Structure 1
Amino acid sequence: MSSCAIQILTSSHPLGAQAGRLIRAGVPRQQVAIIYDVGLSTLHRKFPASKLA
């Protein structure tokens, strides 16, 4: 994964905030990973389930 993808998934980046909103809205993490071209492990690291509840 590129460092650009990691930077996008930070909460301060608008796309990162959008990824978090998609996950909280119930969109499967696998689908969000495909949209943002990142791995599932990255989404779990950046948006842990314990913080989304």
Structure 2
Amino acid sequence: MSSCALQILTAPHHTLGAQAGRLIGAGVPRQKVAIIYDVGLSTLYRKFLAS
């Protein structure tokens, strides 16, 4: 995972991080979001908790 992608996802005010959260909230599988943003699944589960 690139450090740039991690910074984008961990910044709550960043547009791409917010968009990733909206995608997950809309039901897009985390695996697809991970591919789009080039991050690991564990990063998405850590940042956007499973409901």
Superposition TM-score, scaled by structure 2 size: 0.89
Pairwise CA distance, 1:49: 1.4
Residue 4 (structure 1) aligned with residue 4 (structure 2): yes
Bigger relative CO (Cα 8 Å, ≥ 6 apart): 2
Unaligned runs of 5+ in 1: none
Unaligned runs of 5+ in 2: none
Report runs of 4+ in structure 1 exceeding 6 Å deviation.
Answer: none
Q: Secondary structure at the match of 1:49?
A: coil
Query: Is the 8 Å Cα contact of residues 2 and 38 (structure 2) preserved in structure 1?
Result: no
Aligned CA-pair RMSD: 0.9
- Aligned partner of 1:35 in structure 2 is 36
Pairwise CA distance, 1:5: 1.0
Q: Secondary structure at the match of 2:43?
A: helix
Write out per-residue CA displacement over residues 21-41 of structure 1, whole angstroms, 9 at most, x where no aligned residue: 000000000000000000000
